[in-house]
């Protein structure tokens, strides 16, 4: 991305207003009473998490908290972005965006930044209990912890891009929500269990299938000696850097494809759109 593109999509993007909207809706006291109640509930849960870690810090691996963070961020990203495009269509505000003096790439970038900002604040908040656990855990590995945190955050960006892509190909937010959650459960839980059952005893099949699964990666980083002593077939040095690069590449791919699919008519919502002219032409 050159300087002009960065300036257009980030610095001078009118859709940066999405950052304030997402922050008010999900991390503030604005909005409905339901939003305020949910916000206070999150604060109470967060306080409980910090107190629990403080009382059990000698027995809690910091990477276990990173695994928990990854699970939460998958839910938060899906909740925030499943209606990013489909919701605009349902509210009949999509036509206004289409005639506004902004590009489709700016719309996608604005929605993505809007969700990443509150998720970044949440990630910063999660560093407190993680640091508390790391300060006294006997088998802590600073390098593995930093690597695990980067794996978690990069996968969170991938989930954000995937949710936007699904929303761009859906007519209703509920449809986008179900599809996003369903595909995550299918890819992260159902298929690994199914294949491990079919190829029972074949370690290489299970390792290859779970290689891009962030929870599998974080489990390996939690106890590298156990992975090596157990006869891991994929080099340990592959765990972390390869995944971060892959997640970021897929994030860019889904964002670009989401922007491209916005050019197709609303009556062509298939996931592999036919080659048609721009909807606005």
As for how many domains the chain has, the answer is: 1
Examine residue 206 and state whether it is found in any structural domain, yes or no: yes
172/42 Cα distance (integer angstroms): 27
Examine residue 242 and state whether it is found in any structural domain, yes or no: yes
Q: Categorize the per-residue pLDDT at 30 as very low, low, confident or very high, splitting at 50, 70 and 90.
A: low
Examine residue 192 and state whether it is found in any structural domain, yes or no: yes
Q: Over 90: is that where the pLDDT of 41 sits?
A: no
Examine residue 271 and state whether it is found in any structural domain, yes or no: no
Examine residue 162 and state whether it is found in any structural domain, yes or no: yes
**Model pLDDT, residue 91:** 82
Question: Range of 168's domain?
Answer: 62-115+140-261
**Model pLDDT, residue 33:** 53
267/281 Cα distance (integer angstroms): 15
What average pLDDT score do residues 251-259 get?
93
182/3 Cα distance (integer angstroms): 38
**Model pLDDT, residue 267:** 44
Examine residue 77 and state whether it is found in any structural domain, yes or no: yes
Q: Over 90: is that where the pLDDT of 263 sits?
A: no
Examine residue 270 and state whether it is found in any structural domain, yes or no: no
**Model pLDDT, residue 223:** 82
Which of 56-60, 83-87, 158-162, 178-182 is predicted with the least confidence, judged by mean pLDDT?
56-60
Examine residue 69 and state whether it is found in any structural domain, yes or no: yes
> For residues 150, 154, 155 and 159, what is the CA-based torsion angle, rounded to 10 degrees?
150
């Amino acid at each position: 991305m050159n300087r002009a593109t960065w300036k257009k999509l980030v610095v001078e993007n009118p859709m940066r207003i999405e950052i304030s909207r997402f922050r008010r809706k999900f991390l503030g006291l604005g909005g409905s009473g339901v939003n305020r109640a949910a916000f206070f509930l999150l604060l109470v849960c967060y306080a409980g998490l910090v107190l629990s870690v403080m009382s059990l810090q000698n027995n809690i691996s910091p990477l276990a908290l990173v695994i928990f963070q990854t699970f939460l961020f998958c839910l938060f990203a899906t909740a925030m972005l499943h209606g990013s495009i489909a919701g605009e269509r349902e509210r009949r505000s999509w036509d206004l965006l289409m005639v506004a003096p902004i590009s489709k790439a700016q719309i996608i970038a604005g929605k993505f930044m809007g969700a990443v900002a509150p998720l970044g604040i949440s990630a910063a908040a999660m560093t407190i209990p993680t640091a508390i656990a790391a300060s006294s855990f006997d088998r802590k590995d600073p390098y593995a912890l930093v690597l695990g945190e980067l794996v978690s955050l990069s996968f969170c960006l991938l989930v954000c891009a995937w949710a936007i892509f699904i929303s761009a190909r859906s007519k209703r937010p509920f449809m986008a929500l179900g599809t996003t959650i369903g595909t995550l459960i299918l890819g992260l839980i159902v298929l690994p269990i199914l294949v491990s059952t079919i190829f029972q005893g074949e370690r290489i099949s299970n390792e290859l299938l779970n290689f891009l699964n962030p929870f599998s990666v974080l489990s390996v980083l939690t106890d590298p000696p156990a992975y090596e002593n157990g006869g891991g077939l994929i080099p340990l040095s592959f765990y972390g850097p390869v995944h971060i690069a892959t997640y970021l590449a897929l994030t860019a791919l889904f964002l670009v494809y989401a922007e491209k699919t916005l050019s197709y008519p609303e009556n062509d919502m298939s996931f592999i759109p036919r080659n048609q002219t721009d909807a606005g032409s």
